[in-house]
Amino acid sequence: MQKPVNNNFKESLLRTVESLRKSIRSGEMDDSTSGLVPGLVQANIVILPKIWAHDFLLFCQKNPIACPLIDVFDAGQFLLNSLGKDIDVRTDIPEYCVFVGGVKTEVKKDISDLWQDDFVVFALGCSFSFEYALQQAGLSIANLESNSNVSMYETNVPTKSVGVFQGNVVVSMRPFTPAQAIKAIQITSQFPLAHGAPIHIGKPEMIGINSLSNPSFGDSVEINEDHIPVFWGCGVTPQVVISNAKIPMFITHAPGKMLITDKLYSELR
């Protein structure tokens, strides 16, 4: 009898992401990427004209919790080779938001027709990248259990402004029991490029969140009486901050619908 082949962990992830990427590229898959290909890094994407790139780069540098920078690409570069084989940022995200003059004007599955030679792509870390580590520690993630998008909220916590870029931090929220929350803090502290440790626990009103059941983005999840909300910095922050700046045009991923890369977290640095 032949023994089953001992598949390499990463190779099996790459096979999964390859077929998933095809169905995203074709427009078939346009859902939240939370929980997909656990183990591979997911990224928030910001695309803006080169004229704003320096200030936004500086903004990320000054706000690493909300905007942990994974990579920045050359003007006009849409193939993100450093993040994965054949990744085309114009087609390989399930859904994009297009902002004109600071207002979201369109949600699209493909931005090839909007591409400009002066576009600079920023890839920012995403908390979906540490969900796998939380699950491996035995923690159950509410929005994955209910098969929905993570809850995200605008807060009253200011970012450090740079030039035209200013605004408040957006957070993602996952409810846990107190003991699980402590574990989640310990674990996510090890993932600085995926927003790192939470910025807040419990008491949502302290960061300007009045109703947990009405997230600004994503879906609401039920919070058990024995659970407390745990809040992480979120890569939707740039969407708010760049909208505030009312620059003529920029494009992002749609909240919760990320770029899935070919990289393990350990390969980022």
Provide the binding-site residues for a copy of itself, judged by CB under 8 A.
Answer: 177-179, 181-182, 185-186, 189, 197-203, 206, 226, 228
- Please state the closest distance from residue 141 (CB atom) to a copy of itself, in A: 19
Nearer of residues 154 and 262 to a copy of itself, judged by Cβ: 154
CA distance 152 to 66: 12
Nearer of residues 81 and 186 to a copy of itself, judged by Cβ: 186
Q: What is the CA radius of gyration of the chain?
A: 18
Positive or negative CA dihedral for 264, 86, 89, 48?
positive
Q: Which candidate, 268, 174, 169, places its Cα nearest to that of 228? A: 174
Positive or negative CA dihedral for 188, 193, 199, 200?
negative
Nearer of residues 32 and 127 to a copy of itself, judged by Cβ: 127
Lay out the sheet containing 168-176: strands in order across.
151-158, 168-176, 228-233, 200-201
Identify the H or E element spanning 46: strand 40-49
Nearer of residues 172 and 261 to a copy of itself, judged by Cβ: 172
Nearer of residues 38 and 64 to a copy of itself, judged by Cβ: 64
- Please state the closest distance from residue 203 (CB atom) to a copy of itself, in A: 6
- Please state the closest distance from residue 223 (CB atom) to a copy of itself, in A: 12
Can you tell me whether residue 206 is helix, strand or coil? Answer: helix
Nearer of residues 189 and 211 to a copy of itself, judged by Cβ: 189
Q: Please spell the DSSP secondary structure of 135-185, one letter per residue.
A: HHTT---HHHHTT-PPEEEEEEEEPPPBTTB--EEEEEEEEE-HHHHHHHH
- Please state the closest distance from residue 178 (CB atom) to a copy of itself, in A: 5
- Please state the closest distance from residue 29 (CB atom) to a copy of itself, in A: 35
